[in-house]
Structure 1
Amino acid sequence: MNRAIAAPLAVLAMAVAAIPANAQDNSTEARLRKAETEIRALQRKVFPGSDGKYFEPEVTAAQPASTGAARPSTTAVTDILARLDALESQLARLTSQTEENTNAIAQLGTRLGALEVTSGAAATAATPKPLAPEANLSAMTGGASRPAPIPASATTGTSASTPPAAKPAGPTAQRLAAVQAIAKPQTDDPGKDEYDYGFRLWDAGFFPEAQQQLSLYVEKYPRHAQISYGRNLLGRAYLDGGKPAEAAPWFLKNYQADKQGARAPDSLLFLAEAMIVQKDTKRACIALAEFSETYPAVATGRLKSQYNADRAKVKCN
């Protein structure tokens, strides 16, 4: 009788022990099906067609098991590993495609930015409104002395009878290609990106393009941390491009807007140089005197060589 009772109990114990294993297999199967469903949804977004323009998905819907069919020869563990390998392969492919698309979009944005700059290279760059003769440099002397107005021939380099110059031709294909080769930075600080791009254009010798780019920067970001650098560099782009009359107002504005700015001392010296180029010795001397009085430490330190060179070019009382 004991043996008759023990046999059914043993069978019951084996059935109970198999329940957790079956539950675990069912849980793993459900998780895999959920992952495969999400992958297929993502594939429909990334690979929406099969007409040869898109990649075919590597993970396909699982075929329903036919009732009464023979069981596959592989074990459950082998099937799970194969399906996991397929999922990992497809995820890697999707990640690679996303990175390629992101990089292509970034390069396209850079090229469009370069085209926007070069398309207006031949046009006259915007300049600040000319200062009245009585305000030009007299503010630096506290009104003690008022320089004489600059003659029109001195600022333009031509006489009244000189006919206007012909409109310059547009940039050549070689110049456009060279400008497009200069990449525009793309960081989380758009103001710095605009300034850095203008600096790269100026450093490469593309002064009209640098003038336009830096004008955009100072107009769009007047309170940016590098605005003192931007106004000073805009003046230098005009000065280096052979336009000292357009450069002088930017140097003066940069000094007057913030005398403690990082490039305010530099702007005073470059203002003197712009006056020297225009043969306006009086205003050049005023700028040099203001520089030595306002920035004595800089005059004997960082900008000593430039200051001495500018003083040697003119004779000041």
Structure 2
Amino acid sequence: MTGRSLHIPARNFALAGMAAVMSVTAVPVLAQDSAAETRIRKLEAEVRALQRRVFPGADGRYFEPEVTAQPQQNNAGPAVPSTTAVTDILARLDALETQIQRLTGQYEEGSFAVRQLTSRVEALEAAPPSATVPAQAGVATGSLSTPASSGGTAAATTNPASAPAGTGSGPSAERLAAVRAIAKPQTDDPGDDEYSYGFRLWDAGYFPEAIQQLTLFVERYPNHSRVTYGRNLLGRAYLDDGKPNDAAPWFLRNYQADKNAARAGDSLLYLAEAMIALNDTNRACIALSEFAETYPALATGRLQSQYAANRAKVTCD
């Protein structure tokens, strides 16, 4: 009896020990499973947050694809970036095509300008240059009127065509070469280029060529900001070429077109100078008087010496 009673507690003790071991072992296993589950849930939450940023919905709101979504759902996500990239490429292609068209147009305009210049040079070689003042340049208003010709037979309201420059055989080869040596500006303002080229011809003393070039400028660009300079310089070119009767209509026209223009005062004073050259004292005095009254700042400033010189040439009442 004693041996049996001792055996049973020993077995029970062994079973109890095994149960204790198993319970102790189960605690870290369960703890490990719980930690792994927490990490997995955390990773899934982070992936969903990432998906909300990468895959925006079509209505501007975010949707949350499942982490274990089907492949076709994952493939549908990049559709928006892909479409945006294609759209950007098409927009850039359109911009390139527009730029090519603009460059082509500029090239064609440049080629046309070169052909025009070539034609003018060929015309200079073929015949002596001449210029014609439009008839409306001689219309008179107020106390000023365009003078008659020096011979007293031609009215100023007619079309005062100038005589061809040079001899009947045309300009010499040396003169043509010298004219060609004067470069024409090439900027983004073709009107200013035409005027500047005429100024260069006048400044070099090639008055008939300057007259032709400046006439082209004022007729082709009547609304250009430099047109007041062009008309005034055209009159001066005629005056310097010994043709005051042809110069006077341009001076009068420039003054009457806009009395506040940059060269209107200059033209009025040069009109008086042209009248003096034509021995028309009456009109010269009228022009000088109107110049002093309309442009007192010029009469005592920039044009003072020229005004005083013209006043000394005539005796006005």
Shared fold (TM-score, shorter chain, > 0.5): yes
Please name the residue that 1:271 is paired with.
271
Which is helix-richer, 1 or 2?
A: 2
**C-alpha contact (below 8 Å) 1:191/1:224 kept by paired residues:** yes
Please name the residue that 1:125 is paired with.
131
**C-alpha contact (below 8 Å) 1:117/1:209 kept by paired residues:** no
Change over 3 Å in CA distance of 1:121–1:283 after alignment to 2: farther
Change over 3 Å in CA distance of 1:155–1:261 after alignment to 2: farther
* Unaligned residue ranges in structure 2 (runs of 5+): 1-110, 155-162
Letter in 1 for 2:247: A
* Unaligned residue ranges in structure 1 (runs of 5+): 1-104, 157-163
Identity between Structure 1 and Structure 2 (%): 60
Once residues 147 and 268 of structure 2 are traced to their aligned partners in structure 1, the CA distance between those partners, rounded to angstroms, is: 19
Aligned partner of 2:151 among 150, 153, 166: 153
Deviation >2 Å, runs of 4+: 105-114, 116-121, 146-152, 164-169
Please name the residue that 2:36 is paired with.
none
Change over 3 Å in CA distance of 1:155–1:231 after alignment to 2: farther
1:287-312: CA deviation from partner (whole Å, max 9, x where unpaired): 00010010111111111111000000
What is the number of equivalent residue pairs in this alignment?
201
Please name the residue that 2:72 is paired with.
none
* Offset at residue 168 of structure 1 (A): 3.2
Once residues 149 and 219 of structure 1 are traced to their aligned partners in structure 2, the CA distance between those partners, rounded to angstroms, is: 23
Equivalences for residues 129-144 of structure 1 within 5 A = 129=135, 136=140, 139-141=141-143
Letter in 2 for 1:285: C
Once residues 302 and 256 of structure 1 are traced to their aligned partners in structure 2, the CA distance between those partners, rounded to angstroms, is: 21
**C-alpha contact (below 8 Å) 1:275/1:284 kept by paired residues:** yes
Once residues 129 and 296 of structure 2 are traced to their aligned partners in structure 1, the CA distance between those partners, rounded to angstroms, is: 41
* Offset at residue 258 of structure 1 (A): 0.5
Once residues 215 and 146 of structure 2 are traced to their aligned partners in structure 1, the CA distance between those partners, rounded to angstroms, is: 29
Pairwise CA RMSD: 3.4
1:117-164: CA deviation from partner (whole Å, max 9, x where unpaired): 6247624311121767xx54xx242xxxx87973651578xxxxxxx9
Once residues 201 and 127 of structure 2 are traced to their aligned partners in structure 1, the CA distance between those partners, rounded to angstroms, is: 12
**C-alpha contact (below 8 Å) 1:118/1:179 kept by paired residues:** no
Is the counterpart of residue 290 in structure 1 residue 290 in structure 2?
yes
Equivalences for residues 1-317 of structure 1 within 5 A = 112=118, 115-116=121-122, 118-119=124-125, 122-129=128-135, 136=140, 139-141=141-143, 150=148, 153-154=151-152, 168-317=168-317
Secondary structure of 1:267's partner?
helix
Letter in 1 for 2:296: P
Change over 3 Å in CA distance of 1:201–1:298 after alignment to 2: same
Letter in 2 for 1:125: A
**C-alpha contact (below 8 Å) 2:272/2:288 kept by paired residues:** yes
TM-score (norm 1): 0.56
Letter in 2 for 1:126: T
